[in-house]
Every structure is written in C-alpha cells, then in structure tokens.
Amino acid sequence: MITPTTSLSRYLGAAALATAVLATAACGGSEASTEESPTTAMAIDEERCDTNREAGTVTYITGYYFQASVSQLEVFAAEKLGFFDAVCLDVEVQAGVGDIMANSQLVSAGTAHFTPLANEGEVVQANENDHEIVGLATYGHVPIASLLTKPDIEDLKDLEGKTLGRPGMLGAPLEAMLLAADVDLEAVEQVETGYDPSILPRDQVQALAAFRSNEPNQLDAMGEEYTEWLPEDFGVVGSFGVMGANSEWAAENPTVVEDFLRAIGKAFEHCQENGQECVEQAATFDETGEYDVEHNLKVWESESELVRASTPDDSSPGYIDLSLTEAETANLVENGVLDEVPDLEPLFEPHYLESVYVAGNITWPAEDE
C-alpha cells in the first residue's frame, strides 16, 4: 500500500520539500549509502544473466518516497541485500511523491519500468486513462482503507448530519461500505483534510478516512480512543500492494520481469523475519535525515501481516485472482468512477509471478541445484 504516513514537512524537512517535488531522487544502492551490498552468489545461469544485462538499467519509481510499504520495502531490501545483483539486474530506485497516476504514466511512456499501485482498481483506472500498465502481483487481498470514528459512533448511520474528513477523494471501498450500511451520503458533510489524525480526537471531524497501517498506529501512539470500521466486514472486496510494469516492455523482457519478482519475493521473505533490518536499510535511501524508522516499521508490520492473513495457504504471496479483481472493479462502476467493468485479462499478467514460485515458495535456482 502506498500512502503518506507523515506530513511532507516532517518527512522531508521544509527546506527540502520543493526540491523533492520538482526532482525525484535517483537512488541506486551505492548512491543512497556508502555501504557496499553484500556479495551474493549468482542465482541464475550465464545465458539468462546475459539476457538480463542486455536490458540495461531497470527503473523502479516508488509510490511515496521511501516508505516501508508492501511493494516498496522489499525492493529496497533486494537492492541492499544483493538479490538484484544475483539475478544480473541493474535496478535504479527513484523516489515518487505520492502521485500514483503520474507514476503509471511514466511507466506507460517507458521512462520507468516498474511502479507500485495502491490497489487493482488503480491498474484498471490507469488503463482507462490510456496508460499502458499491467498488474504483475497483488500482495494484499483486503482493502487497506478503513474508517475511523469517535467511540460514540455505534452505527455508521450515526454519521448522518456529521463531518467526515478525507485526504482526497473518498476511496471506493469506504464509499461502498457506507452504502452497504445504508448511509445517506448526501447527509454526511465531507471535507478534505491532510494526514493528521489528531483532528478526530479534537472533534474537528467525527469520522476520518484512513489507511489501517498508518493513522490507527498514530492514534494508538497518542493514546487516543477510536473505533475502526473495515470494509470487508460489510462484504466489500479490495486489494493493496500491487506491482505494475509497462505491458509492452514486460512482454519484450520476460526474464527481467520474472527475476525482478524473484528478487523482491526473496526479499519479502527476508523482511517478514527481519523487519527492523529492512526498515533501517530503507532509511539509507533517504538523504534528508528525517526518516522515522519506528513508524515505518509499524507500517511494514501492519501491511505484511495483512498480506499473510489474506493469502491462502495454497497460494503464493502476490497471487492474482481475477474474480476478486472483477468484484473490486464493480465497486468502481457502482460508485460512478467507471462506466463498466472492462476485460480484465489483458490488464493483469500473473504468469510472470507464477513462473518464480513453486508450491507457494520462491525459487532461487542457485539454492535448488
């Protein structure tokens, strides 16, 4: 999931904000830190290695700076742990500033090759905007969005006549949840807010659109009480942590795509057991000195646990289920975001991921010999 976890001024420092927005930082492992990547044994054969090297520099643009989200942290870790080197990939990490559709346009234009998207619906929306991007893996199979209310809200219909704060547009899963709860949305005043959850306990709003890996952790740290409402409890389908790529480029470079997913899959396994280490590695990409390791570790722990809980035992992390995708896209149609559910098969390519997993486990050829 990609969403700001702190205000930009806190994350970057006020003086760095304008510079960061105008020019994203290109950070390979050696550029982001003086530390050398560990030496990792070659994981593929020479012929495949040569094929991957011929593809040149592979550019990954983050969703939001160097936040420790699923579909971001494992990329940073794969670079730092030498897993990209082991599959002969020269990966350049560039910092995005939170504009997912702008990132998908860069990927569509071939300026970048991989980027995370917040959910599968955004893959569909990007293609509706003529961005040629394909979904390769979906790590979370529940909505990442949640709605926070003051404790005295005992039924979502109690929000009628009250104020709901949201950082942008109200997300489709939250709108679908409110409609499922028979809430009259016209009777709820919606106001655009930032990412400061303290407006809820201060009673500036009575409900707050949130991301369950972010604002709840912040309110817990403040010692504030709240009620969290989850879309899936109302039958709403959703997703988060989607890895996307340029569809034409992916078809032309299948081994690069497979081995990129192989490397980040191995890093994902490592970071599940070594979250602190991986988040500290992510911090070395951030040159501002403002990186909040403690908060980002909570982001990673929350999201990686959601991935684990929403992945069936017989499936691989990142699996794609188009029946769930169709249900999620139907929410967008019902909410007026899309006119109809398009043909989804061309927009998602699970075969790349399936080629690097066996029985739910990532394959690492050097270890299998």
pLDDT recorded at residue 194: 79
Closest CA to 269 of 136, 363, 141, 367: 363
227 and 252: one domain? no
What average pLDDT does the segment 298-316 reach?
95
Are the C-beta atoms of residues 114 and 260 closer than 8 Å to each other? Answer: yes
Amino acid 66: pLDDT? 96
Q: How far apart are CA 155 and CA 185, in angstroms?
A: 14
Domain ends where: 234, 266, 281? 234
Please identify, among 234, 267, 302, the residue that sits at the C-terminal boundary of a domain: 234
Q: 108 and 244: one domain?
A: yes
In the chain, the percentage of residues whose pLDDT exceeds 90 is 76
- Of the pLDDT bands very low, low, confident and very high (cuts 50, 70, 90), residue 335 is confident
Lowest mean pLDDT among 31-35, 145-149, 239-243: 31-35
Domain shared by 74 and 126, yes or no: yes
Per DSSP, the three-state class of 292 is: coil
Domain boundary among 234, 265, 285: 234
**Domain shared by 86 and 130, yes or no:** yes
Q: What's the Cα-to-Cα distance from 252 to each of 133, 243, 248, rounded to whole Å?
A: 14, 18, 6
Residues 202 and 163 in one domain: yes
For residues 182 and 30, give the distance between their C-alpha atoms in angstroms, rounded to a whole number: 54
CA angle in degrees (0–180, nearest 5) for 254-256-262 = 105
Q: What is the mean pLDDT of the chain?
A: 88
Which of 4-13, 161-170, 235-244 is modeled with the greatest confidence? 235-244
Q: Are residues 184 and 214 in the same domain?
A: yes
Contacts of 16 by beta carbon, 8 Å cutoff, 6+ apart: 288
Query: Quick check: is 2 in a domain?
Result: no
- In terms of C-beta density within 10 A (0-12 exposed, 13-18 middle, 19 or more buried), how is residue 235 classed? exposed
**104 lies in some domain:** yes
In this prediction, what percent of the chain has a pLDDT beyond 70? 89
Residue 4, pLDDT score: 46
- What residues make up the domain containing 178? 145-234
Judgement on whether residues 336 and 249 belong to the same structural domain of the protein: yes
State pLDDT tens for residues 44-55.
Answer: 999 999 999 999
Among 127-141, 159-173, 315-329, 348-362, the least confident range = 159-173
Write the pLDDT tens digit of every residue in 229-270.
999 999 999 999 999 999 999 999 999 999 999 999 999 999
- Flag whether 245 is in a domain: yes
* DSSP secondary structure string for all residues of 149-179: E-TT--SGGGGTTSEEEESSSPPHHHHHHHH
Buried b (16+ CB within 10 A) or exposed e, 334-359: ebebbeeeeebeebbbbebbbbbbee
Per-residue pLDDT, 32: 40
Q: What is the pLDDT of residue 170?
A: 85
Specify whether 98 is located in the same domain as 218.
Answer: no
Same domain, 116 and 93: yes
Shared-domain flag, residues 121 and 156: no
User: Once rounded to an integer, what is the mean pLDDT over residues 165-193?
Assistant: 91
- 13 pLDDT exceeds 90? no
Is 247 found in the same domain as 349?
A: yes
pLDDT band for position 106 (cuts 50, 70, 90): very high
What is the biggest distance separating any 2 CA atoms in the chain, rounded to whole angstroms?
66
User: pLDDT digit string (tens) for 63-103?
Assistant: 989 999 999 999 999 999 999 999 999 999 999 988 888 99
pTM for this model (two decimals): 0.84
- Closest to 67 in 3D by CA, of 56, 58, 76: 76
Which residue from 222, 234, 239 is spatially nearest to 137, judged by alpha carbons? 239
Mean pLDDT for the stretch of residues 146-168 = 95
* The pLDDT value given to residue 1: 54
The per-residue pLDDT for 359 is 87
At 332, give phi and psi (nearest 5°): -65, -35
Same domain, 129 and 150: no
Signed CA dihedral, 228, 233, 234, 237: sign only: positive
What angle is formed at CA 118 by the lines to CA 216 and CA 69, rounded to 5 degrees?
Answer: 55
> Residue 193 is part of a domain; what is its CATH number?
3.40.190.10
3 within domain boundaries? no
DSSP conformation class of 193: -
Q: How far is CA 213 from CA 3, 4, 224, 270, in A?
A: 9, 11, 16, 20
User: In this predicted structure, what is the pLDDT of residue 2?
Assistant: 53
- Alpha-carbon distance of 350 to 158, in angstroms, equals 42
Provide the domain count of the chain: 2
Identify the band that residue 301 occupies on the pLDDT scale cut at 50, 70 and 90. Answer: very high
Residue of 212, 238, 229, 261 lying closest to 119 (CA atoms): 238
Q: What is the length of the chain?
A: 369
Quick count: other Cβ atoms within 10 Å of Cβ 187? 11
Between CA 245 and CA 256 the distance in angstroms is: 11
Residue type, 125: Q
Residue owning tokens 């990547």: 37
d(CA 316, CA 293): 28
Least confident of 33-47, 74-88, 194-208, 277-291: 33-47
pLDDT of residue 39: 54
| 291 inside domain | yes
In the structure, what pLDDT confidence band is assigned to residue 14 with cuts at 50, 70 and 90? very low
Q: Name the range with the highest mean pLDDT among 184-188, 214-218, 333-337.
A: 184-188
**């897993």: which residue's tokens?**
83
The residue type found at 26 is A
Q: Is residue 1 included in any domain, yes or no?
A: no
